[in-house]
Each structure stands twice: as structure tokens, then as C-alpha cells.
Amino acid sequence: MASPIVPVLLAGGTGTRLWPVSRDALPKQFLPLMGKHSTYQETLLRVRGPEFGTPIVVTGPDFHFFARRQAEELGIDVTVVIEPMRRDSGAAIAAGAAITLKRDPQAVVLALAADHIVLDPEEFRKTCVAGRAAADLGRIVTFGIKPTEPKTSFGYILPGKAIDGTETAEVERFVEKPDLATAARYVQDGYLWNSGNFLFRADVLLGELQRLEPDMASAVEESVARSNTDLGFVRLDAEAFARSPQKSIDYAVMERTDRTAVVTGRFRWSDIGSWDALFDIAPTDSNGNVLQGPVTLMDAKNCVVHSENRLTTLIGVEDLVVVSVADATLVVPRARSQEVKDLVAKLKADKRPEAIVHRRVHRPWGYYESIDMGERFQVKRIVVLPGGMLSLQRHRHRSEHWIVVRGTAEVTIEKDIKPVHENESIYVPLGAIHRLANKGKIPLELIEVQTGSYLGEDDIERLEDVYSRV
């Protein structure tokens, strides 16, 4: 039996086209856009099974703890690789391939985006198996999706003649995003959507890369050779990786190699490139609305409403996207939802924090969320995951009251270490060296009331940190 396919998940994107839900600080692959799992988690679940080996996740230095935690939540073991900076999909896929190759010279890699949605995972797995024979023969197999309508937001692939002994075909043409008339013609002529997922032998891809993009190949291979393992993460060497040209795998390899092949996927798929794209895959109500969260509608049609926590109400509107989250609301016509990225650019220029960070801020040990703020106080909800530990720290301008509302805290204040149980509180005086940890089996939740004349996040002196943040 062939060795398992090694999934390489590209989870380093910082998409803002689904703002205000997706932001640079926590982009859409890590968020639950439909159902309870994030698209990254759904991707992991899609490649679980005897056909697949341990996934490699390539992500950025802000997301590696998150990537591991979300895999752990599913009980899935992953290798998390940290890209020191973004060098587009070419370098990320090459890094995943090079790491795989060190482990198994014959390894077949499935490179796939962590922020796509596939509605038929079984069909997806069949497509992987169908493409495998061509990959074993040295082809770089791209996944073409059978179109359901003439989309203008995707690139297209024209399949050519079948490749003997495989269920794949030659690639006759790759084409860029077409206009609507062209897209309609493509669909009629048997073109497929280009999904940006690939199956290949690691040695083949790296060989083609050495031939076509030698600078990228050498930069990535060196960054892997000189990588180090830190808290279980594979950290690519920054100096070497930085030298890689910034190119997508399409430009670097696919459009220039003669080793391509295409396998046809017959699963429902979306890259969720905008709020409007939810219509491709999400269920609708009887008036064609895609709804999530508490929503009340009167005579609304073909709208997307995404409502977190609070109630969202619409009267008499059509083809509108309304997104409401803790700190921001967005209203945009469906047809203009591609312009959300321009709005985010404007918000960044205006230095609005909502452009980048969420109200809930994730940390290696859990998360916190500011729930109220006054002139000289701030209230936070803090959740520390089992085994999590904040840095040993002190503040110059604030004291803190902690009230445990779930679980048990282990609190260090100066030389004292003591447990604080549910419904107990403790006071951290201004200037005191302190630390908060959860040694228990369930998440620790506490309410922190800060008082002082300055309450910024930068009033923190870290004296010791298990996550290497000192």
C-alpha cells in the first residue's frame, strides 16, 4: 500500500475581506463561519483518515499557538511550521514539501488552503485518491472543481486529454478571473474552477522549483535546514526565508511546468472570498437569506445577516449584507461586498483598532476580553486554558482585583503562591510581582477589575514567561 498523503495546510493568510469577523489579528481560517468549527478545523477533519498522514500546518508567528490549540481541540496531531514572514503560497508550499521530504523521500503532499469550505468531505477524499496515481507518476495535480454557475471570482482550468493509467487529465489552459460572458462560455466549454489545491510528490515539486525558481528553492531549503524547534513548533530560519521571492505557487511553478495534471472534484466548494460568497455554500431561509445568530426579519430577501451576541433586525431590504460583532457593524450591498477590503484599508488609515484586532484577544494561555471601561477602571473577562500560565509580571500604574467565576486559579503574589477557587477573590496591589496559572482540568474563568490612572496593555513588565515572550 502507498504511504499516506501528507496534508500541508496553508494557514498563514490574513484576509480582511470578511471583516469585521475576520481581521489581521485572527483571520478567517481560525473562525467558525458556518457551524461550530473554524474553516481550519474543518480542513483538518477533511484530511483525517487512513489515506492521510500527520498534517503539516504552515502559519505565521501570530497564529502558531492558535493553530496547535484548534488541532488539539479535535484531538488531531499536527506539525506547526512558523513562517517568519509571508512569502506567498510558493514559499509556504515549498517549506511544507521540504520538511515532508526529509521524513520520507517518496512522500506525496496535498497542499491545501485552510480557509476554504467543502461541503462534501467524502467526495473530496475520493478526489485525492483519484489524483494520487498521477502524483506518484511525477505529476503536479491541481484540483479543478466542476462549476455550478459562471463565477467571475475564480480562475478557470481547461482539462485536456486523459493521462493514461490515472483519473486525471492534461491541463490545456489556466485562465484568470473572466467577465461574466466569458465565464458562461467557459462553463459551457467544460472548463473547471481552479481551487488552488495541489497534490504532488515532494521531490517533484522541489525539483521543478529548483529549475524554475532557484532563488526560492534555495532560500526555502536553507530556511528548513536551519530551522529550530521551539516549544514543539518548527520555526523556519528567518534570514534564509526572507530571501525567497514572494510568488504564488501558480506563478512560480504551475503556469510554467510541463508536469501539471488536473483531477476533477465534484464537491461543493467555496473560497469564501467575500460575504456574498456565503450564498455558494450556506443554507438559506425561504426568502433566500443566509442567517447566523439572533436575527429578526420583516420582508427581507436574499440578505446575508451575521449577528454575534446582539439582535440584528432588518425591515424591507434586499441583497444586503449586514454583519454585527462585539465592536463593529457592517452594512454593504451584496454586489459590492468585494469592497470590504477597501473599507478595512480606510479604517487602518484612520487608525481604528477595529480594523486589526478583535474585542477578544487570544494568547498562548487562553484569551481575554475587555467588557467594560471607565475613566479610571477597566473590567476584563479572562479565560486560562488547562495548563495555561500567564507571564510573571508587574504593572506600574494599576492594581487588579480577580474574582474567580469558574475553575481554580493558582495565584502568585510576590513570594506567596495560593489557590483561589470559584466565588473567591484576590487583590493584586500596584507594583506587586504576580502570576496567574490554571493547574486544573477545566478552563479557569475570572473577572479582572483594574483600577488606576493608566490602563494600557503596554503597562506590563514581563519577568518570566513559559511562551518565550520575555
Binding site residues, its own copies, CB under 8 A: 20, 296, 298, 307, 310-317, 320, 322, 324, 326-333, 336, 339-340, 342-343, 346-347, 350, 352, 354, 371-372, 374-377, 379, 381, 399, 401, 403, 405-406, 422-423, 425, 427, 445, 447, 449, 451
Cβ of residue 340: shortest distance to its own copies, in angstroms? 7
* Contact between 405 and 437 (Cβ < 8 Å): no
Q: Which is nearer to its own copies, 110 or 428 (CB)?
A: 428
Q: Which is nearer to its own copies, 376 or 418 (CB)?
A: 376
Q: Which is nearer to its own copies, 433 or 447 (CB)?
A: 447
Cβ atoms within 10 Å of 314's Cβ, excluding its own: 20
φ and ψ of 417, to 5 deg: -125, 125
Closest CA to 33 of 345, 295, 293, 354: 293
Q: Which is nearer to its own copies, 251 or 367 (CB)?
A: 367
Cβ of residue 302: shortest distance to its own copies, in angstroms? 14
Cβ atoms within 10 Å of 148's Cβ, excluding its own: 11
Cβ of residue 68: shortest distance to its own copies, in angstroms? 26
3-state secondary structure at position 289: coil
Spell 10-34 as b/e; 16+ CB within 10 A means b. Answer: bbbbbbbbbbbbbbbbbbbbbbebb
Cβ of residue 398: shortest distance to its own copies, in angstroms? 10
What pairing do the DSSP bridges indicate for beta strands 444-452 and 398-406?
antiparallel
Cβ of residue 15: shortest distance to its own copies, in angstroms? 17
Q: Which is nearer to its own copies, 453 or 468 (CB)?
A: 453
Distances in Å between the Cα of 438 and the Cα atoms of 73, 274, 335, 435, 443 are: 17, 39, 48, 10, 7
Cβ of residue 65: shortest distance to its own copies, in angstroms? 23
What pairing do the DSSP bridges indicate for beta strands 192-201 and 140-145?
antiparallel
Q: Which is nearer to its own copies, 2 or 405 (CB)?
A: 405
Closest CA to 429 of 408, 457, 451: 451
Cβ of residue 434: shortest distance to its own copies, in angstroms? 16
The most distant pair of C-alpha atoms in the chain lies apart, rounded to whole Å, by 75
